[in-house]
Structure 1
Amino acid sequence: MTGLDPELADATGKMLTQAVAEVVGDDPPVEVEESVVLGNAAEVLLERSCGAELLVVGSRGHGGFSGALLGSVGQHCVQHARCPVVVVRGSVS
């Protein structure tokens, strides 16, 4: 990953791998691509949505109406992605 401290990139990659493993397990029923990319989150996700079968983003989970449930990145992806988008809410704990 260009432009990011190698130690930070390594640590971030390990955190991502662990998070994905916790969600999908050792033998996921679908192919999961994970990557750490330096850049504007919304722009990078939209770029990656081209050719993807599905984009999964997290919700903010705050507020009581739909406009407040998504952060700006999730909202932008839902509106502009080139593939279906699934919004998942984290655990309440």
Structure 2
Amino acid sequence: EDARPPAVTVLAVPGLPAETILDVAKDADMIVVGSRGAGGFKKLLMGSVASQVTHHAHIPVVVIPAEES
């Protein structure tokens, strides 16, 4: 038995992560993304996909933080 509710769609799509997520989610009700929690200088250089998605999405975005180890 599938654990996902029938209203959830999961896609694997190639492309630039934030741009592709926003493009594919145009008709979605919500975006859910994970966050690895990269911080400091590394985050400034590379940017954060979750941050880009939350700043540019026109629908609600839920960010699931990485577990602390």
TM-score relative to the length of structure 1 = 0.55
Which is strand-richer, 1 or 2?
Answer: 2
Q: Which amino acid aligns with 2:7?
A: E
Q: How does 1:1-93 map to 2 (within 5 A)?
A: 26-29=2-5, 31-63=7-39, 71-93=47-69
The alpha carbon displacement at 1:76 in A equals 0.8
* Secondary structure of the structure 1 residue equivalent to 2:63: strand
- Percent sequence identity over aligned pairs: 41
From the superposition, tell whether residues 37 and 29 of structure 1 become closer, same or farther in structure 2 (CA, over 3 Å).
closer
8 Å CA contact 1:58–1:88 kept in 2: the answer is yes
Runs (4+) of structure 1 exceeding 6 A deviation are none
Count of aligned residue pairs for this structure pair: 64
* Secondary structure of the structure 2 residue equivalent to 1:78: helix
Unaligned runs of 5+ in 1: 1-24
TM-score relative to the length of structure 2 = 0.71
Q: Which amino acid aligns with 1:58?
A: G
Which structure is larger by alpha-carbon Rg, 1 or 2?
A: 1
Unaligned runs of 5+ in 2: none
8 Å CA contact 1:51–1:83 kept in 2: the answer is no
